[in-house]
A and B are shown apart, each in its own frame.
Chain A
Amino acid sequence: MKKIAILFIIFFIFNSYSYALIKVDITRGNLDPLPIAVSPLHVDDKSENIKELEVKNLGASISSIIEKNFKSTGLFNPLKKEAFVQKPDIAHLKPRFEDWRLIKAQALVTGKLSINGNKLKVEFRLWDLTASKEMVALAFTTTPSNWRRVAHIISDKIYERLTGEDGYFDTRIIYVAESGPKNQRVKKLAIMDQDGSRTKYLTLGNELVLTPRFNPSNQMVTYLSYFRNLPRVYLLDIETGKQEVVGNFPGMTFAPRFSPDGKKIIMSFAKDGNSDIYTMDLETRIVERITDHSSIDTSPSYSPDGKYISFNSDRSGLQQIYVMKSDGSNVKRITFGNGIYGTPVWSPRGDLIAFTKMRKGKFYIGVMRSDGSGERLLTENFYQEAPSWSPNGRVLVFYRETKSGPDGKGFSAKLWSIDITGYNERKIQTETDASDPSWSSLLSK
Chain B
Amino acid sequence: MKFNKNLKNVLLIIFATLALSACSTAKKSQTSGDVYTGTDTVEYLASGVKDRVFFATNKSSLTSASRETLRKQATFLRKNKKLNVTIEGHADERGTREYNLALGERRANAVKDYLMTYGISGKRISVISYGKERPVNSESTPLAWSQNRRSVTVKVK
A contact set with B: CB distance below 8 Å: 181-185, 208, 210-211, 224, 229, 231, 251-252, 254-255, 268, 270, 272-275, 296, 298-299, 312, 314, 318-319, 342-343, 356, 358, 361, 382-383, 385-386, 401, 403-408, 411, 435-436
Q: What is the interface size of chain B, counting residues whose CB is below 8 A from a CB of the partner? A: 28
**Could you say which of B60, B94, B139 has the most chain A C-beta atoms within 10 Å of its C-beta?**
B139
A-B pair count, CB < 8 Å, reads 106
Q: Which residues of A contact B94 (CB under 8 A)?
A: 358, 361, 383
Question: Could you tell me which residues of chain B, from 72 to 114, have a CB within 8 Å of some CB in chain A?
Answer: 93-99, 101-103, 105-106, 108-110, 113
Tell me the complex Cα distance, A210–B135, Å.
Answer: 16
From A211, A272, A274, A361, contact of B97 by CB (8 A): A211
Question: For the complex, what is the distance from the CA of A273 to the CA of B109, rounded to whole Å?
Answer: 5
Known: A183-B136, A273-B105, A343-B96. 13 other contacts (CB 8 A): A183-B135, A231-B128, A252-B105, A270-B106, A275-B106, A298-B99, A312-B99, A342-B96, A358-B95, A382-B140, A385-B97, A405-B140, A406-B139
| Interface pairs A-B: 9 shortest CB-CB | A408-B138, A273-B109, A182-B138, A275-B102, A342-B96, A255-B98, A296-B102, A270-B105, A403-B140
CB pair B135–A386 under 8 Å, yes or no, is no
Most buried by A among B98, B106, B136, B140: B98
- Across-interface contacts of B103 in A (CB, < 8 A): 296
Q: A270's contact among B97, B113, B129, by CB below 8 Å, is which?
A: B129
CB neighbours of B60 from chain A (8 A): 273
Interface residue from B129, B136, B140 paired with A252 (Cβ < 8 Å): B129
Chain A contact surface mostly: mixed
- Residue among A183, A251, A252 making CB contact with B134, cutoff 8 Å: A183
Contacts of B30 in A (CB 8 A): none
Tell me whether B93 and A407 are in contact (CB under 8 A): no
B136 and A314 within 8 A (CB): no
Greatest chain A CB density within 10 A among B96, B106, B133, B140 is at: B96
Q: Is the CB of B139 within 8 A of A298?
A: no
Residues of A within 8 A of B135 (CB): 182-183, 408
Chain B's closest residue to A181 (CB) is: B138
With A273-B60, A314-B58, A404-B140 known to touch, is A231 a contact of B129 (CB < 8 Å)?
A: yes
> Do the beta carbons of B98 and A343 come within 8 Å of each other?
yes
Q: How far is the CA of A50 from the CA of B109 in the complex (A)?
A: 61
- Which residues of B122-138 have CB atoms within 8 Å of chain A's CB atoms? 128-129, 133-138
In contact, A268 and B102 (Cβ under 8 angstroms): yes
Q: Which residues of A contact B108 (CB under 8 A)?
A: 273
Are A407 and B102 in touch, CB under 8 angstroms?
Answer: no
Residue of B nearest to A340 (CB): B58
Known A-B contacts A252-B128, A270-B129, A273-B60; the reply to A411 vs B98 at CB < 8 A is no
Contacts of A358 in B (CB 8 A): 94-96
Nearest CB in chain B: distance from A296 CB, A: 4
Interchain CA distance A385-B93 in the complex, whole Å = 11
Known interface pairs A273-B106, A314-B58, A385-B96. Does A411 touch B138 (Cβ–Cβ under 8 Å)?
A: yes
Inter-chain contacts of A183 with B (CB < 8 A) = 134-138
Q: How far is the CB of B120 from chain A (nearest CB, A)?
A: 16
Q: Which residues of B contact A361 (CB under 8 A)?
A: 94
CB-nearest residue of chain A to B134 = A183
Cα distance A372–B63 in the bound complex, in angstroms: 36
Q: Are B110 and A255 in contact (CB under 8 A)?
A: no
Closest A residue by C-beta to B140: A403
CB distance from A223 to the nearest CB of B (A): 12
Q: Are B97 and A386 in contact (CB under 8 A)?
A: yes
A305-B96 Cα distance, complex, nearest whole Å: 26
User: Which residue of chain A lies nearest to B122 when distances are taken between CB atoms in the complex?
Assistant: A272
Interface centre among A182, A208, A401 (most CB of B within 10 A): A182
A404, B138: Cβ atoms closer than 8 Å? yes
Q: Please state if B138 and A210 are interface contacts (CB–CB under 8 Å).
A: no
